[in-house]
Chains A and B, each alone.
Chain A
Amino acid sequence: MPHPSEDDLALLALGEPSDDVGAHVGSCPSCARELRALRSTVDTARRADLTDLPLPPAAVWQRIADELGLEEPARARTATPARPGRPTPWRRPLLVGGAALLAAAASVVTVLAVRGPTAPPEVPLSALGGSDATGRVVLDARSVVVETDGLPEADGFYEVWLLDLGEGRMVALGALDDTGHGRLTVPAGVRLDDYPEVDVSLEPDDGDPAHSGDSVLRGPLPG
């Protein structure tokens, strides 16, 4: 028998028995391979939960827009009070996953977002490992805002961590952008009280998510 039609192979994958097609597939490696691939799709599809995939509650989009300082679109928006300390103007994209060469520019003078009288306290970071970089950190609700100057250009990227050296625990928050700035949201489930310190490390682009051990700045997490 010649190769069966794609239609017939699909039906066999769905479990409709056919002696002719079955016999051919038993002796034809290429059709057998095709059938296996189709069966795996059928298998996954049959386990799929075919309920709708509704959008999350509106508060989720609000959180995204707040975090990114997006201009509110006019549509479908009830008034929300402006929060102090926000928004930061748009800056350079954050290097998620450490994909890029980081060019931390010592010459770039950046300032933290304009903050009102109720601004949360700013805490300096100390240089480690012989670096003469400087840094500051502000805790704004669940965001850790880190501003640095003078981090040397290096292969890899600078990553921000919450640190509890006593317990040997740490949480990666994300990478600084190439101006040495980062506004990083603390992951859900992480209690800020558990982490007394903020750490900035130089991470090589090796795909290893663990801390490199090469800390360049560290300081207390503002309360």
Chain B
Amino acid sequence: MLRARRASDDTDLALAHAFAGGDETALREAYDRFGGLVHAFCVRSLPSRADAEEATAQVFVNAWRGRSGFDPARGSLGGWLLGIARRVVADICTAAARERALREALEQVRPVEEESTSPDQLVDRLLVADAMARLRPEQRQAVGLAFYDGLTHAQVASAMGLPLGTAKTHIRRGLAVLRRRLEVDGAAPE
């Protein structure tokens, strides 16, 4: 399948190279670009907001110190940062679970099983949100109407005042961008 390259891909790639090269302004740019994504992952993975903020800071500290281990040719900066975020969050959860287990053993309470989203699913959903926010406006609108409002392509065309073929193309291209992003950075297997 044809892979559409977009301007934002090139911007992200340039940022990745500057980051790997140790340019301190690139750290701030990486934070501005991906801090929201990383923080959203931490907030949704950890029960306390204070922990999430500390985890977010830790991700960028670890990333900067470990940037020699980041190769822009082998993966995107966003995906790499999310990988670090998963390890940081897992460490915090392990420590918290240990404390909880100890407390429960002392109190003789049965743990409550919780149904929760896996880190893989969470990463993928956040990547989609990030990719959606970067679609061209007309693609985003078409995709939004088709994905979330359940409109057919004919209804999308009429809602947006577009020819049928153009509506179809917006939807297909938008979907392709999201798919590509999941394939590049995503966690879940196909």
Contacts and interface: CB of A to CB of B under 8 A. Distances in A.
Interface residues of A, number: 59
A70 B61 CA distance: 11
A48 B39 CA distance: 16
Contacts, number: 178
A61 B56 CA distance: 9
Contacts of B39: 53-56, 60
B148 A56 contact: no
A140 interface: no
Size range of the chain B interface in the assembly: 35 or more
B175 A67 contact: no
B65 A93 contact: yes
Given A48-B125, A52-B133, A61 B146 contact: no
A51 B40 CA distance: 10
B61 A95 contact: no
B35 A48 contact: no
B152 interface: yes
B16 to A, nearest CB: 16
Interface of B: 1, 24-25, 27-28, 31-32, 35-37, 39-40, 44, 46, 50-58, 60-62, 64-69, 84, 87-88, 91-92, 95-96, 98-99, 121, 124-126, 128-130, 132-133, 146-148, 150, 152-153, 165, 168-169, 171-172, 175-176, 178-179, 182, 186, 188, 190
